[in-house]
Structure 1
Amino acid sequence: MELVCPAGTPAALRTAVDAGADTVYCGFRNETNARNFPGLNFSLKELHQGIEYAAERGAKVLVAVNTFAQAGNTDLWRKAVDDVANSNAHAIILADLGMLDYAAQAQPDLRVHLSVQAAAANADMINYYATEFGVKRVVLPRVLTVQEIEKINAEITCETEVFIFGGLCVMAEGRCALSSYCTGKSPNINGVCSPPGSVKYEDQGDYLESTLEGITINQYPKGEAAAYPTLCKGRFESLGETGYVFEDPVSLNAAHLLPQLQKAGVTALKIEGRQRGKAYMAKVVKSFRQAVDAVASGTSVDLDAILAPLTEGQKSTKGSYQKTWR
């Protein structure tokens, strides 16, 4: 299976490639990609340099243009599609129907992958995208069991890519009304969930308080690991009890499920985390390189001790791959 790894910066791209990534995905330094954080992402020149660096070492680069174009203002997104087509990137990752149509019409030779932001979660949807827009691979949303993925793969004509490590989203893959309502910026249009400029951490003596645009997200007692303040992972009072109402601050870790995902017909395994630093990238990519190689050879490796400190809140879950409900 292909190991697909994130790169939020040119340095992270080089780190991922050197650590054993088969493929690296990145985005431009603007609102066309869903990780539009200050200090991250690529200029066009940096993209070309990154593609060259990866190619020299046998790796591929995917470019995420995976936000939804603004009504009546699509020039930035169309330019991004054209820029990817004119680079040596292996493929573009798209979500917006209009941009999928534009790519099919204006850049018919460009290989297209369907972003998880499109939330295509059944065979009919996936086959529609493959037939109408020539999509070669779909990134499946993180709501499916391994058994459901296997059934989908038996009924579709394109490849599937699934997430195996990193952040989770309780919304329909980033379509977050909570963050939009609180900050005025939509993750799927502006490319930022909980913009850093809206985030504050304040020491209140007995606890650390995190807020987003003035709204208290969490209060951490001394010694408790603090998560990034997103509303979906906030700790609130509901029906007289205080807890994580929407989602616990944990990371997806499907390392133990790689043999099952291979049996289910998955083509590519995706690590989340374009906002992560080089040290994180080196450890995670190198670990999963070992795990994927072990599966290919019919053996296995235990990554728990290595990956546990790298998870959000130092906690992990298999997510919907093995659904349990509380």
Structure 2
Amino acid sequence: MELVCPAGTPASLRAAVDAGAHAVYCGFNDETNARNFPGLNFSPEELAEGIAYAHARGAKVLVALNTFPRAGGEALWHRALANAETAGADAVILADLGLLDHAATHHPNLRRHLSVQAAAANPDAINFYATTFGVRRVVLPRVLTVDEIRAINREIDVETEVFVFGGLCVMAEGRCSLSSYATGRSPNMNGVCSPASHVVYSEETDGLRARLGDFTIHRTPKGQPAPYPTLCKGCFTSGEQTGHVFEDPVSLDATQLIPALAKAGVTALKIEGRQRSRAYVAEVVRSFRAAVEAQAAGLPLPQGALARLAEGQAGTTGAYAKTWR
């Protein structure tokens, strides 16, 4: 299976390629991609240089243009498509219907993948995108079991890509409004979930307090690892329960499910983490490359190699086994 790895910076792209990524995904340094944070992403010139570096070493580069264009601002996304093709991208990752149509009409030779932000989670939806816009691969949302993925693959004629490590979005991806409710910045439109400018930490007698906008979302006891400050993994009171109502602040780690995903017909395994350092990227990619090669050779998979890199030093298989709340 193809290993698709994150690159938030040119240095991370080189690190991912050198560590054994089959493909790297990245985005431009603007709101056309869903990781629009200061200090991340690529200029058109940096993208072209990164693609040349990857291609020289046998790796592919996929460009994420996976936010939804603003009314009247479509030209920015159209330029990004043209720039991706000019730079030599192997594929673009798209979510918006209008942008998919524009790509199919004006850039017919540019391979199109459907972003997880489109939340296509059944054969009818996936076949619509494939038939209408020539989509060749779909990134499945993180709400499906392995059996559901197998059933989908029996009824479609496009490749499927699934997340196997990193941040676990517990919402219907592409539909989340929690972060924008708290900060006014939308993950789906502006590319920013829990923007750093709205996060405030304070040391208190009982530990570390984390706020997003006007909301306190975590109180971490002294000496304990603090989770990433997202509302969906925050602590809430619901009825008589107070705690992580949606999901614990842990990372997705589906390493041990790689053989099952292969049998389910999955084409590509995706690692989340464009906000992570190049050292993190290199270590995760090396570990998963070893796991993919072990699976292909019928050998036992490595055990627990990435636990210390997971959020809160804990992992979950998320919805794949439906142990998810």
TM-score higher than 0.5: yes
Change (3 A) 1:102 1:147: same
Following the alignment from structure 1 to structure 2, what is the Cα–Cα distance between the partners of residues 195 and 251? 19
Aligned length: 325
Following the alignment from structure 1 to structure 2, what is the Cα–Cα distance between the partners of residues 300 and 278? 28
Secondary structure, in 3 states, of the residue corresponding to 2:87?
Answer: coil
Deviations 1:57-103 (A, max 9, x none): 10000000000011122110111111112221100000000000000
1:133 aligns with 2:98: no
Specify the code of the residue in structure 1 equivalent to 2:13: L
Residue 73 of structure 1 corresponds to 73
Paired residues for 1:286-297 under 5 Å: 286-297=286-297
Paired residues for 1:224-243 under 5 Å: 224-243=224-243
Paired residues for 1:150-299 under 5 Å: 150-299=150-299
Following the alignment from structure 1 to structure 2, what is the Cα–Cα distance between the partners of residues 241 and 105? 52
Residue 323 of structure 2 corresponds to 324
Q: Could you tell me whether the CA contact under 8 Å between 1:218 and 1:236 is conserved in 2?
A: no
Following the alignment from structure 2 to structure 1, what is the Cα–Cα distance between the partners of residues 292 and 286? 10
Secondary structure, in 3 states, of the residue corresponding to 1:170?
Answer: coil
Following the alignment from structure 1 to structure 2, what is the Cα–Cα distance between the partners of residues 185 and 138? 26
Following the alignment from structure 2 to structure 1, what is the Cα–Cα distance between the partners of residues 269 and 323? 22
Following the alignment from structure 2 to structure 1, what is the Cα–Cα distance between the partners of residues 174 and 314? 21
Secondary structure, in 3 states, of the residue corresponding to 1:18?
Answer: helix
| CA RMSD, Structure 1 to Structure 2 (Å) | 1.0
Following the alignment from structure 1 to structure 2, what is the Cα–Cα distance between the partners of residues 108 and 186? 30
Q: Could you tell me whether the CA contact under 8 Å between 1:175 and 1:187 is conserved in 2?
A: no
Following the alignment from structure 2 to structure 1, what is the Cα–Cα distance between the partners of residues 323 and 255? 18
Percent same amino acid among aligned pairs?
66
1:3 aligns with 2:12: no
Following the alignment from structure 1 to structure 2, what is the Cα–Cα distance between the partners of residues 236 and 143? 22
Secondary structure, in 3 states, of the residue corresponding to 2:120?
Answer: coil
Q: Which ranges of structure 2 fall in alignment gaps of 5 or more residues?
A: none
Following the alignment from structure 1 to structure 2, what is the Cα–Cα distance between the partners of residues 238 and 147? 31
Residue 307 of structure 1 corresponds to 306
Deviates more, 1:228-237 or 1:94-103: 228-237
Following the alignment from structure 1 to structure 2, what is the Cα–Cα distance between the partners of residues 301 and 265? 19
Name the TM-score, length of structure 1 as normaliser.
0.98
Following the alignment from structure 1 to structure 2, what is the Cα–Cα distance between the partners of residues 240 and 147? 34
1:96 aligns with 2:100: no
Name the TM-score, length of structure 2 as normaliser.
0.98
Secondary structure, in 3 states, of the residue corresponding to 1:68?
Answer: coil
Deviates more, 1:85-94 or 1:26-35: 85-94
The structural deviation recorded for 1:325 is: 5.4
Q: Could you tell me whether the CA contact under 8 Å between 1:287 and 1:303 is conserved in 2?
A: no
Secondary structure, in 3 states, of the residue corresponding to 1:86?
Answer: helix
Following the alignment from structure 2 to structure 1, what is the Cα–Cα distance between the partners of residues 289 and 296? 11
The structural deviation recorded for 1:300 is: 2.0
Q: Could you tell me whether the CA contact under 8 Å between 2:318 and 2:324 is conserved in 1?
A: no
Deviations 1:142-196 (A, max 9, x none): 1111111111111111111011101111211143211111100110000000110
Specify the code of the residue in structure 2 equivalent to 1:311: A
Following the alignment from structure 1 to structure 2, what is the Cα–Cα distance between the partners of residues 227 and 259? 29
Secondary structure, in 3 states, of the residue corresponding to 2:18?
Answer: helix
Specify the code of the residue in structure 1 equivalent to 2:287: S
Following the alignment from structure 2 to structure 1, what is the Cα–Cα distance between the partners of residues 185 and 284? 30
The structural deviation recorded for 1:231 is: 0.8
1:124 aligns with 2:102: no
Following the alignment from structure 2 to structure 1, what is the Cα–Cα distance between the partners of residues 174 and 127? 22
Residue 112 of structure 1 corresponds to 112
Following the alignment from structure 1 to structure 2, what is the Cα–Cα distance between the partners of residues 125 and 316? 30
Paired residues for 1:14-33 under 5 Å: 14-33=14-33
Deviations 1:295-326 (A, max 9, x none): 1111122231x211111111111111101255
Following the alignment from structure 1 to structure 2, what is the Cα–Cα distance between the partners of residues 175 and 256? 29
Deviations 1:203-258 (A, max 9, x none): 11331100011311111111111012111111123324321122210111110011
Q: Which ranges of structure 1 fall in alignment gaps of 5 or more residues?
A: none
